[in-house]
Every structure is written in structure tokens, then in C-alpha cells.
Amino acid sequence: MSLTFLTPWLLSALLGLPVLWLLLRAVPPAPVRRFFPGVILLLGLRDKTQISDRTPWWLLLIRMLAIALIILGLAGPVLNPQSPNIKRSNLLILMDGGWAAARDWQAHQTLLERVLNQAARAGRPVAIARLTTPSTPIFQSAQSWQKRLPSLAPTPWEPNASNMRTAVQRLDDQPFDSLWLSDGLAQSGRAALLSTLQNRGDVEVIETGQPLFAL
């Protein structure tokens, strides 16, 4: 059993807990004493509620533990990370992105979240491209793509042969692995694009297993 953190630098905040302990234990300055003749009327009275001049040690300990747990939670602990066979090469996530993908879009989003989380833990650069609007893949951190994931949406048209050729032309010559989320429709130019991706690195194609019908 092993434990790792997605953002281990946050653990450095634990070093500030002793300082925080001293600040909470600090006694406030003594009040200024002034003579007031009328105070003689209060002699003999007893206050039923007593307030300590400093915070009890057990309450401070509970506060310190709560702050430490918050810091550990923000650091992103991961139990038993899958360290074997972790790839750190660039990853291109290719999506058809047309109307046929709309039905399984939520499933694709869930898959993308899992893939991006794995890439973030491995420090793996990621690029996401859609064949309906082909563009030059820009490899960035997985965290940056996680923020933009909700804005991705399918288009009301399907990628055509021209889109396939444009996608091939805009691929980088550097090696990278590919994950292709396909809607399963046979499109002209898919074989050439797949061959180009295989020349760059490992390719995994995920297609829908259900029949599609256009209206």
C-alpha cells in the first residue's frame, strides 16, 4: 500500500502549524487598570460563568488537527497509485465531435475526466482535437484541459474527407500517443488518418457499439 499526492508542494503548509499554535496560545495584553469608586457595590458578587484567559490546549489540538487534515485534503492524496507502465509521452485525444457523438457525449466526458486525471498524475502533456473543426494540436498540462472540458460540445455536422486531410496535415512530426473517441461512422479518409497516428505512436480507438440512424 502506497500513498502519493497530486500537489505535494501544499504539504509545506504543515510547517506553519507550530507558528499558528504559538499565535493562538498568545495571551492578549493586560487591560489598563482604572480606579472606579462605584466598583465597591460589586464586591461579594460572583460570576457563575468563568472565562479562561487562554484557549485550552485540547481545543488548540483539535484546531491544529482540523487544519492539518484540510491541508492534506487539498494536496490530493492518492492511495495505491498505478505507477507501473505509466506513460509520460504526449497524448493526443481525438474526437469525431459530430452529431453522431451527441448520444454518447456524456460517456465520453466521463472517460475524458478519467484520462485527464491519469495524465495529471503522470505529468503527461495532453492535446484535445475535434475532427469537425480540425486544428493544430497544442499539448498542454492536463489540468488546463480539465478546466475547459465542460465547454466541449458536439457539432451538428459530421467530419468529412476534407476535415480528415486537414487533420493529417496539422499533426506534429514529433512522436505522441493517441486516443481516438469515434462515433463509429465510416468516413472517407479515416484509414489515412489512423495510419498517420500509428506512425506517431500507440493508438487506442474507442467506438460506440450501438447502431446510429440519421433523421
Closest CA to 140 of 153, 127, 121: 127
Query: Side chain identity at 108, as an amino acid letter?
Result: H
Domains of the chain: 3-79 (no CATH), 91-207 (3.40.50.410)
Task: Say if CB 94 and CB 180 are below 8 A apart.
Answer: yes
The alpha-carbon radius of gyration of the chain (Å, integer) is: 30
Per-residue pLDDT, averaged over 44-58, amounts to 68
pLDDT digits (tens, 9 = 90+) for 197-206: 999 989 998 8
pLDDT over 70 at 52, yes or no: no
C-alpha to C-alpha distance for 25 and 78, rounded to whole angstroms:
34
pLDDT of residue 91: 93
Q: To 5 degrees, how large is the angle CA 213–CA 205–CA 192?
A: 90
Residue 30 pLDDT class (50, 70, 90 cuts):
low
Closest CA to 166 of 127, 137, 199, 140: 137
Q: Report the DSSP beta bridge partners of residue 179.
A: 93, 204
pLDDT of residue 215: 42
Q: Which residues contact 26 (CB under 8 A, 6 or more apart)?
A: none
Regarding predicted confidence, which is higher, 54 or 189? 189
Integer CA distances (angstroms), 119 to 54, 88, 141, in order: 49, 8, 8
Regarding predicted confidence, which is higher, 125 or 104? 125
Q: To 5 degrees, how large is the angle CA 151–CA 156–CA 162?
A: 100
pLDDT digits (tens, 9 = 90+) for 143-188: 989 888 888 888 888 888 888 888 888 887 888 999 998 877 777 7
Query: Side chain identity at 203, as an amino acid letter?
Result: V
C-alpha to C-alpha distance for 81 and 79, rounded to whole angstroms:
6
Residue 212 pLDDT class (50, 70, 90 cuts):
very low
Task: Say if CB 41 and CB 116 are below 8 A apart.
Answer: no
C-alpha to C-alpha distance for 18 and 140, rounded to whole angstroms:
38
C-alpha to C-alpha distance for 134 and 130, rounded to whole angstroms:
6
pLDDT of residue 127: 92
Residue 61 pLDDT class (50, 70, 90 cuts):
confident
pLDDT over 80 at 50, yes or no: no
